Amino acid sequence: MLARPNRLTRGADYKTVVRRGVRCAGPHTVTYVVTSGQQRAPRFGFIVSKQVGTAVTRNTVRRRLKALCAEGLPHVRSGVDVVIRALPGAADAEFGQLRDEVARCLARRAG
């Protein structure tokens, strides 16, 4: 579980990260990363649309992504904002596939 300081909560923050962020795309997710330059904990946000599936499926995908980001938290620079958009294929992806994809994007863009 991600602690409160590690979560994006405002819609304006999501919009800023998606519009100005550097993209890293994979088969199941698209990751956007922005470095703010501030000395604070890295923050994560998740976008899981109805195209991914039913409410149960979307919540499962979001919980998986949160767990993966909590694992990778020590390897992310401070002051970084990350938004992960789940694509429709994320619902059928195995946990290991999502782990590899998220870890690759975080290491490439936020590490």
Per-residue pLDDT tens for 39-60? 899 999 999 999 999 999 999 9
User: Has residue 23 got a pLDDT over 80?
Assistant: yes
Give the count of beta carbons closer than 10 Å to the beta carbon of residue 108: 12
Percent of the chain with pLDDT over 70: 99
What is the C-alpha to C-alpha distance for residues 32 and 77, in angstroms, rounded to an integer? 14
Q: Check which CATH number belongs to the domain holding 55 and give it.
A: 3.30.230.10
What's the structural domain count of the chain?
Answer: 1
What is the C-alpha to C-alpha distance for residues 64 and 77, in angstroms, rounded to an integer? 21
Q: Residues 78, 39: contact at Cβ < 8 Å?
A: yes
Range of the domain at 17: 4-110
Q: Residues 53, 91: contact at Cβ < 8 Å?
A: yes
pTM of the model: 0.93
What is the reported pLDDT for 1? 75
Per-residue pLDDT tens for 61-91? 999 999 999 999 999 999 999 999 999 999 9
